[in-house]
Amino acid sequence: MKRIILIPACFLFFASTILAQEREKSGMIKTTKGILVVWNEPDNYYTIEIKGKQITPAEQPLLFQVDGLFFQIQTAEKKAFLQGNVDKKLDDKTILATHRDWEGDYLSGVLKKKLQIDSEWLKLADGTDALGWSYDMPRKMVPDGQSAKKQFYLAVVKRNHVLLLNSALTGDDNDKTIRQLLLDTINTLRSTDKPLPLQKAAEMIRNSN
């Protein structure tokens, strides 16, 4: 990441999502435990809380450092990877497995090496199925020991999308800490069918304290 920006105020806008005045803005709001991401992309509305003592967002939306750990939030529309099966009634496990394979094929192409992906099924606090998966980075990608040595992902189905959290293992990181960050974050996911104004989200946080 090039420049890191600290969160200086009550909330920070994701500038790239400010497309029109009539559309609700996406942004981040401080909470007592970290920040609440309010994402107001049309047909992809959700909030998710990232907990940590020091959270620094990068210039690229939904990319952070959380207590020194790389952390990213991504979403993919089902139609992007289900292709002809998008209209079929598939269960969440089938959707998540298909998404993992699709992402894995793409990453293998980028890294120019077929990845050996390890997967595990998890149950979230509300009973939702989640798929965790990881892979070791090819050795040629980490010659100096400073880059990510292993990538970790955790995904859930979110209406017409799959939401994917990503973090990475470096020399000083701990597998358990990374897995816990992904799990704690995904358990705060709230998906809606309409946008949430940032001011209303801020008021909800104040009332809950």
For the segment 5-36, what is each residue's pLDDT rounded down to a tens digit? Answer: 233 333 444 544 444 334 799 999 999 999 99
Other beta carbons less than 10 A from residue 81's beta carbon: 19
pLDDT in tens, 93-135: 999 999 999 999 999 999 999 999 999 999 999 999 999 999 9
Burial class (CB in 10 A: 0-12, 13-18, 19+), 99: buried
Residue 84, pLDDT score = 80
Please state, in angstroms and rounded to a whole number, the distance separating the CA atoms of residues 36 and 38: 6
Q: Where exactly are the structural domains of the chain?
A: 11-208
The token duo for 97 is 């497995």
Sign of CA dihedral 40, 44, 50, 54: negative
Residue 141, pLDDT score = 56
The token duo for 1 is 């990441």
pTM: 0.87
Residue 17, pLDDT score = 43
Instruction: Tell me what the mean pLDDT of segment 155-170 comes to.
Output: 96
E strand or H helix that includes residue 94 = helix 92-111
- Is the domain spanning 11-208 CATH 3.40.50? The answer is no
Please state, in angstroms and rounded to a whole number, the distance separating the CA atoms of residues 180 and 57: 20
Q: What value does the mean pLDDT of the chain take?
A: 87
